Structure 1
Amino acid sequence: MRKIDVLGIGIGVFVAGGLVYVVLQVVGLDNLEAGIWSQLLLVAGLIGWIATYITRAASNKMTYHQQREAYEQAYFKKRIDELTPEQLANIQAEIDQEKSQTK
């Protein structure tokens, strides 16, 4: 995420909180109640966002993890494509030998 995106989101949340405050006042709540409810909604939204962040981080669904996995797969595919059939056969024989030794 770029710095400008973070600034935009921050300003958007600030403006949304102000709009909620004004709407609650128009609905009929006094200044104190409208402030409490708008803060409650902001905190609830923040807790929800943190919950989704923790879930994505715990399950490795973050953009960084996905990009790194895609890079590693492309790197290994390129390396395998560069091998000759004889080298591939040798590697396969080594893998088979290791599998038979571990059983």
Structure 2
Amino acid sequence: MRRIDAILIALGVFLAGGVIYFVFQVLGLDAADAGIWSQVVLVLGLIGWVSTYLIRVFTNDMTYHKQVKDYDDAFFAKQLEKMSPEEIEKLMGDEQ
């Protein structure tokens, strides 16, 4: 992620908080209650976003893990291509 992306995301969250605050005021809440409920919505959104990140971490569904797996698969496929059929048979026999 580039620095400008992080700045734009932060600005978007800040503006979303203001819009939510305004919507709550239009719905009839006073300024204090609208502020509290807009904070509740933003905190719940933050908790939801963090939970999706944690789920991806614990299930190894991160970009880094995918890149390492792709590299390992390509490396072993290349090693397998270099082996003769006899070496492959021997390797298969050793595993059983």
Q: Structure 2-normalised TM-score? A: 0.85
How far residue 30 of structure 1 moved from its aligned partner, in angstroms, is 1.4
Query: Which of 1-10 and 48-57 deviates more?
Result: 1-10
How far residue 95 of structure 1 moved from its aligned partner, in angstroms, is 2.5
CA deviation profile, 1:68-102 (whole Å, cap 9, x unmatched):
11121111111211222232233223323xxxxxx
How far residue 67 of structure 1 moved from its aligned partner, in angstroms, is 1.7
CA deviation profile, 1:19-44 (whole Å, cap 9, x unmatched):
11112122221111111010000111
Structure 2 Cα separation of the partners of residues 10 and 28 of structure 1: 28
How far residue 65 of structure 1 moved from its aligned partner, in angstroms, is 1.1
Task: Please report the RMSD computed on the Cα atoms of aligned residues, expressed in angstroms.
Answer: 1.6
Query: Which of 81-90 and 20-29 deviates more?
Result: 81-90
Query: Which of 33-42 and 5-14 deviates more?
Result: 5-14
Aligned length in residues? 96
Structure 1 Cα separation of the partners of residues 51 and 69 of structure 2: 24
Instruction: Give the match for residue 100 of structure 1.
Output: none
Instruction: Give the match for residue 89 of structure 1.
Output: 89
How far residue 7 of structure 1 moved from its aligned partner, in angstroms, is 2.1
Secondary structure of the structure 2 residue equivalent to 1:60: coil
Q: Structure 1-normalised TM-score? A: 0.80
**1:61 aligned onto 2:44:** no
Structure 2 Cα separation of the partners of residues 3 and 74 of structure 1: 33
Identical columns (%): 48
Matches within 5 A, 1:1-103: 1-96=1-96
Query: Which of 5-14 and 40-49 deviates more?
Result: 5-14
Structure 2 Cα separation of the partners of residues 68 and 2 of structure 1: 23
